[in-house]
Structure 1
Amino acid sequence: MSDLLKHFRTKQQAVGSEKVYHTQCPYCSMQCKMELIEQRVVERKRFKVVPKNNPTSEGRLCIKGMNAHQHAVNKERITQPLMKKNGEFVPVSWEDALQFIKERFTAIQHEDGLNALSVYGGGSLTNEEAYLLGKFARVGLKTKYIDYNGRFCMSAAATAANQAFGMDRGLTNKLSEIPYSKCIILAGTNIAECQPTIMPYFQKAKENGAYIIAIDPRETATTKMADLHLKVRPGMDASLINGMLKTVVEEGYVDQAFIETRTNGFDELKTHLEAIDLKEIEALTGVSLTLIQKAAQEYGKAGSGMIFTARGVEQQTDGYMTVRNLLNMLLVTGKIGKIGSGYGAITGQGNGQGGREHGQKADQLPGYRSIENIEHRHYIADIWGIPESELPRKGVSAYEMMEKIHEGEITAMLVLGSNPVVSNPNALFVEEAMKKLKCLVVVDLFLSETGKYADLILPTSSYLENTGTMTNLEGRVTLREAAKPRSNEVKHDWEILCEIARVLGKEKYFSYESSEEIFNELRLASRGGIADYYGITYEKLRNNGVYWPCPSVEEEGKGRIFEESFAHKDGKGVIIPVENYVPKEHANEEYPLNLTTGRVMSHYLTGVQTRRSPTLEARNIEAFVEIHPNTAKKFKVKDKALVKVESIRGSIVVRSKFTESIREDTVFVPFHWGDNQCVNRLTSEELDPTCKMPGFKVCAVTISPLVDLTLN
């Protein structure tokens, strides 16, 4: 054999090394399926991503999904426990790390009480890990203080759906029904950038003649698709819907038969609307009366209709009531429980839906049970093998835990799957809270802004390495099986919880060998609850996923719910009057602009993962402030210049971005960056009184050119 042929054969063998990983995207709630192909070329690895057909995204992937693997193979990943010593992080063994936790947690609870320990979770954890985190807090630590970052994502919509319908499952219909809807309201959602793979459903609806109404203070890629854009003043969405409802009722677009047989509360709403002045609505919202009436008429006369909400209307201090008013619109027109008619809360996080169903939230137990309901408490206590009296009562919301730290009631925290220093409102207050803790343990892939304040960081597995179930935005439970081997020193989140429980003497409650074993306990714990997963098994999920509720193994779950009745005991939906609401904090003489926040397509949440993806990072390397050119002129701000944005709570430095697509009284900053680009250093700590959602979408700010102090 010639030397040239030998060289060719050797090179061919090297290039031929290939591994295929079947997985799904870790980012948004679409949970798109994919294959990741790892190819070894000589000494280098390269990756190819192939979309995989599935019922939700139909084989589509967005830019984030195509590059999700980049953070999982990033060399900055934490691969062994890190303990802070003399202000620096140094590697330690798992044995030493666990011994540290045992000593510190035990001492703190002895000194400060059981509730001095707290747990802060995340909406990207698998169902198994979300379930186990709730059990760990209440059984392993015996603390009432547990909440999660989903409080900032879905709490307004979830609470509204539970109160109006008796059940919250994200979407009341299959995504595949969207093309059959004749009128669609997109309220505070920029799906074109946040969930791009959902867009073809709406494009098909348009092709079928659907009329699309978008409600947003900004023009976005989503509003460009709409037939009508209501450019509402930030924080005035509930008032806008009151104007639409008044038009619907007065012009006779109500479904009287549906109202009489399937709802309660319409008479009270009608009386409330009679007192509404449409001219006042026009003044409050900044939207012309003509456009408000046009939107109401188009939705009212349509034979079918759907309403979708997201953070734009939900992240308000009246977010719960705003969503309730939109649900009023569905109920009075009878547009729910039918093909092409229903409600959808566009979940932000990958498992934002499942994450709140099984016990991460302060007031909830698995199966969407209430921690204050005595029957629910007894049922879960029996599953967990503890007396009901030992099960803690409800704690407080995520941001309120930060207040408890400042008050000295919480003195230690375990953070798993979240970055509260960046994601919470009034972020400087949260930074100070982290500094006050006697002990902070963070479980993460990377050193996050929160991790910098930790006493101990524990390395966790990535989405490629960790088996578990996720529940997507339409209530479909999917199985993501481990594809890629993990390094020896990295553990799964559920393993870490079990290890901590072991050293704390609670091993008998946490002796699991696999995620499937945890899921089977979750099935029992959810049985008979609103979110009933009992009939779902890993084997069934290996096909195309299963909708909940699924109370028996023989069932497959229903994609469309509320066809004949709602989940309240009397089977009826609940309509309530919603007052016109003006946020306590709004533009004033000192801070004359309204700030609103949101996402960009290439990043996810606080950017801990996407900012470790070279491809995604290159698309948006820094934060920015969108500002109308006319507004910029008043504040002497130039385009693409560094500027200071300031509220009563703090300031940030970002680059200006001129656009005529935003209201002149409003500026916009994305929330994916930390430190001096962290927009939540500006946002208000005021919370929705019902669901405890912070008002991220409205705060008063001023803007000014950044002065270079080095110049004379």
Structure 2
Amino acid sequence: MRRAHRRRSPLRGGWAGRTGFDRSAWEARMATRGDMGTEAAAGLPEPGEDGTHVTFCHICEAVCGMVAQVSGGRIAKLGPDRDNPHSRGHICIKGPSMRDVVYDPDRLLRPMRRVGGPSEFEPVGWEEALADIAARLRAILDGPGSEAVAAYLGNPVFFNTLHWPVVFDFFARMKTGKLFGPNSQDHVSRMVANNLLYGDPLRMPLPDLADCDFLIIVGSNPLVSHGSMISAPRLREQLDAIAERGRIVVVDPRRTETAERFEHLSLRPDTDVWMLAAMVRTLFDEQLADLAFLDEHCVGWRALRDALAPITPALAAERCGLDEAAIVGLARDFAAVPRAVAYSRAGICRGRFSTLANLLLDALNMAGGKFCQPGGSMFGHALTTGSKLKGRPPDRLSRVGGLPSVISFLPGVAMPDELLEPGVDRVRALFMIAGNPVLSAPGGEALERALGGLDLFVACDLFVNESNKYADYILPTVTFLERAGATTLTFGNMLAPYLQYVRPVIEPQGDVRREDEIFGELSRRLFAATDVPVGEEILDGHIRIGAFGNAFGERPDGLTLDRLKRQPHGIMLESQSREERKRVGIKHADGKVHLWGDAIRDELARLHAFRDDGALRLFGRRHLMSINSWMHNVERLVRSQHPTLLIHPDDAAPRGIATGDRVVVANDYGAIEVEAELSEAVHRGSVCYPHGWGHDGGWRRANGAGGANVNLLSPTDPAAVEQLSGASLLDGIDVRVALAATPACPADGKGET
């Protein structure tokens, strides 16, 4: 029997004993729900009752606290929760705008069945819809089999904690492994780097902003994204504090909102990998690397050092369009500040060498001795210990191109081929939950053809969009204001650990249902399931068995779902030590960071062989109002948005382009016509256009917002994307640009007219 020992309570203040617990007893309790406690904190209004309701914003990782004023069963106003200890009254415009989504006249409030071409729908009852879906799906499972079924799980429902157990249970019962999502358009290369470095794709070090004196931001615009992969609602205040006591340098091809506020180092799109490699080499060449730290915490660093020898600062400067002195000086300054860290996000996750770039950024933190140090990089807090993904190899390869799945999700670039390419394993049935890959992923035109040819296409969504307008059925779902939720899915990215559970603010509108209700019912119809998971039971179990939980009474002061419910504004939890987080975060058997291996060797060889032909390079940008394309039907968000192609005056002049001109942006994969805007904010030799525009669905305001689908220019050939991760090439795409009046864009890759 384990011996109990004293430790700080996982809740702020108090003490508790910590021992192991009997898993069989836990399973028995979970089955009976006999230890769940009361349903809600005393004194809170019921969903839809008049009064003040506490909730939080589910749109991004910041999960800012909100309060909703309900009158007559409707939300009258959404505002900041000033009693929320996590966000402390902070909120951006997106959260309050969810009221407009709830009551949008274009929102779907009844199940819809397609009766003709795209967007031609009629209302249908739930019973008729579910019966037909179950019968048609059963015929596919009995015929071609589970390999003919796939799913696309979109971003808007990512933070829906309680529905995931039921949704994944449904697909597990079908034994389908073809899952798609937005990962490969966002952070899949970061996950592959995590797995190489730490042995777990879901464990990523975060910057210790509270103690940092020097922050290098590479390919991220946190004043717009609110951090992305960091849950820190008052991020602007933290960045300003760092700049006041030290320094922030933003490395980006555009002078972003964040770069405008701090220091900016501009470079050619998709060349960050060269700069990072040269910086790591500089630390070794100038004896600035912390060798003792590397010996203690890392393996393979000598092999990495030797492999980076050919990447001199001079070579990197040439590739990046930087001064050599800027690269060397930045490396020296980084090494000289004890409390320093380099941080990156989507800007280095969607290029030709994205996995290598992410790995080298972490190697810079390692070589500088910044890992798990105050003010450096550190793992977040784990709600539960032990990932089922530990060291997990790819589950499968795509049928065309052999691209790997990562955490069970296949790359988006493989999706059209999986639906179109003939064969016994061709996808014939697709479930799409809150997704719009026609706009958000490469190959939109091919995907439209594929979606129209499916035997069964079922979508769960709020609106008719560019993708689900081809569905046989659209099943209307709830917004996060019409369901319960918890902040558990962002927990590992929180700089300060925090948990909150919220009840629905209002009852579901019209005849809509939660995703867990829909897929639970399909499991019962298709598989006669009597053991469909209950989201709150799973959540309660995760809380109890984790580092902050009560282990079903064996840590009396620990957390339970019932205790969390009694704190409607949420609970700040006691931070774990850096050493404890390191122990939990590194899953390699030797407990060390792995800086070398065959995959790293091969990617460096590919980098050395790559040749840049000097073409204009297209990259993306985001704006706070329009960062979430599924909210483009909200007037208050899109009325100020006017998507334009930013082009440097030096690149515009030889092409005869002026601000306001219509131009064609083209390459071997597609062409779009957009409006040009001359700007010195972008690096010479590059152009910049925002994602998510060019709507043609059932949302009238979004359709009128204009713009074009920039992802039509993204490579759709599986051989053209990074083979290690399958990450879509969205930043650094070679393009040609010419006036729209020009008969054709030049074929020399430069775009001169």
Match of 2:633 among 595, 612, 623: 612
Query: 1:161 matched to which residue of 2?
Result: 194
**Structure 1 stretch displaced more, 213-222 or 269-278:** 269-278
Query: 2:216 matched to which residue of 1?
Result: 185
Q: For 1:511-526, what aligned pairs fall within 5 Å after superposition?
A: 512=534, 515-520=535-540
Deviation at 1:159, TM superposition (A): 2.2
Structure 2 counterpart SS, 1:700: strand
Query: 2:14 matched to which residue of 1?
Result: none
Matched, 1:399 2:413: yes
Q: Distance in 2 between matches of 1:284 and 1:447?
A: 44
Question: In 2, are the aligned partners of 1:242 and 1:580 still within 8 Å (CA)?
Answer: no
Q: Distance in 1 between matches of 2:312 and 2:453?
A: 50
Which digits, 9 at most, give the CA deviation of each residue in 1:20-55, with x for residues without a partner?
232111212111111122457xx9974252343445
Residue identity (%): 22
Query: 2:248 matched to which residue of 1?
Result: 212
Match of 1:142 among 156, 175, 187: 175
Amino acid at match of 1:615: R
Query: 1:35 matched to which residue of 2?
Result: 67
Deviation at 1:112, TM superposition (A): 1.8
Q: Distance in 2 between matches of 1:168 and 1:482?
A: 32
Q: Distance in 1 between matches of 2:332 and 2:191?
A: 28
Structure 1 counterpart SS, 2:162: helix
Matched, 1:73 2:94: no
Question: In 2, are the aligned partners of 1:586 and 1:700 still within 8 Å (CA)?
Answer: no
Query: 1:435 matched to which residue of 2?
Result: 452
Question: In 2, are the aligned partners of 1:30 and 1:198 still within 8 Å (CA)?
Answer: no
Question: In 2, are the aligned partners of 1:83 and 1:457 still within 8 Å (CA)?
Answer: yes
Which digits, 9 at most, give the CA deviation of each residue in 1:678-698, with x for residues without a partner?
111111233322222111112
**Structure 1 stretch displaced more, 559-568 or 196-205:** 559-568
Question: In 2, are the aligned partners of 1:264 and 1:575 still within 8 Å (CA)?
Answer: yes
Deviation at 1:570, TM superposition (A): 1.2
Q: Distance in 1 between matches of 2:291 and 2:392?
A: 38
Q: Distance in 2 between matches of 1:336 and 1:370?
A: 21
Q: Distance in 1 between matches of 2:691 and 2:656?
A: 24
Query: 1:426 matched to which residue of 2?
Result: 443
Q: Distance in 2 between matches of 1:72 and 1:704?
A: 42
Match of 2:116 among 65, 70, 86: 86
Q: Which runs of 5+ in 2 are unaligned?
A: 1-48, 228-233, 396-406, 696-706, 744-753
Q: Distance in 2 between matches of 1:395 and 1:111?
A: 24
Structure 1 counterpart SS, 2:669: coil
Amino acid at match of 1:107: A
Q: 1:269 to 1:490 in 2, by over 3 A?
A: same
Query: 1:7 matched to which residue of 2?
Result: none
Query: 1:4 matched to which residue of 2?
Result: none
- Give TM-score, length-normalised by structure 1: 0.82
Matched, 1:501 2:532: no
Query: 2:20 matched to which residue of 1?
Result: none
Structure 1 counterpart SS, 2:150: strand
Query: 1:411 matched to which residue of 2?
Result: 428
Question: In 1, are the aligned partners of 2:78 and 2:99 still within 8 Å (CA)?
Answer: no
Q: Distance in 2 between matches of 1:432 and 1:615?
A: 34
Q: Distance in 2 between matches of 1:86 and 1:48?
A: 39
Query: 2:257 matched to which residue of 1?
Result: 221
Q: Distance in 1 between matches of 2:418 and 2:394?
A: 25
Q: Distance in 1 between matches of 2:715 and 2:575?
A: 41
Q: 1:27 to 1:585 in 2, by over 3 A?
A: farther
Query: 1:342 matched to which residue of 2?
Result: 377
Question: In 1, are the aligned partners of 2:433 and 2:459 still within 8 Å (CA)?
Answer: yes
Structure 2 counterpart SS, 1:23: strand
Structure 2 counterpart SS, 1:413: strand
Question: In 1, are the aligned partners of 2:200 and 2:391 still within 8 Å (CA)?
Answer: no
Matched, 1:252 2:284: no
Query: 1:240 matched to which residue of 2?
Result: 275
Query: 1:47 matched to which residue of 2?
Result: 77
Which digits, 9 at most, give the CA deviation of each residue in 1:580-627, with x for residues without a partner?
7659999758xx41111131110233x12x21221101121x432111
Deviation at 1:219, TM superposition (A): 0.7
Deviation at 1:169, TM superposition (A): 5.4
Deviation at 1:662, TM superposition (A): 0.3
Matched, 1:492 2:514: yes
Query: 1:595 matched to which residue of 2?
Result: 618
Which digits, 9 at most, give the CA deviation of each residue in 1:456-491, with x for residues without a partner?
100000010111233223275543432121125111
Query: 1:538 matched to which residue of 2?
Result: 561
Query: 2:738 matched to which residue of 1?
Result: 704
Deviation at 1:367, TM superposition (A): 4.4
Q: For 1:441-480, what aligned pairs fall within 5 Å after superposition?
A: 441-470=458-487, 471-472=489-490, 473-474=493-494, 476=497, 478-480=500-502
Q: 1:503 to 1:488 in 2, by over 3 A?
A: farther
**Structure 1 stretch displaced more, 271-280 or 596-605:** 271-280
Query: 1:303 matched to which residue of 2?
Result: 338
Query: 2:240 matched to which residue of 1?
Result: 203
Q: Distance in 1 between matches of 2:363 and 2:452?
A: 44
Q: 1:507 to 1:225 in 2, by over 3 A?
A: same
Q: Distance in 2 between matches of 1:291 and 1:618?
A: 40
Match of 2:56 among 24, 32, 39: 24
Structure 2 counterpart SS, 1:21: strand
Query: 1:97 matched to which residue of 2?
Result: 129
Structure 1 counterpart SS, 2:623: coil
Question: In 1, are the aligned partners of 2:200 and 2:390 still within 8 Å (CA)?
Answer: no
Q: Which runs of 5+ in 1 are unaligned?
A: 1-16, 346-352, 359-364, 375-392, 548-554
Structure 1 counterpart SS, 2:687: strand
Matched, 1:129 2:148: no
- Give TM-score, length-normalised by structure 2: 0.77
Aligned residues: 635
Question: In 2, are the aligned partners of 1:120 and 1:415 still within 8 Å (CA)?
Answer: yes
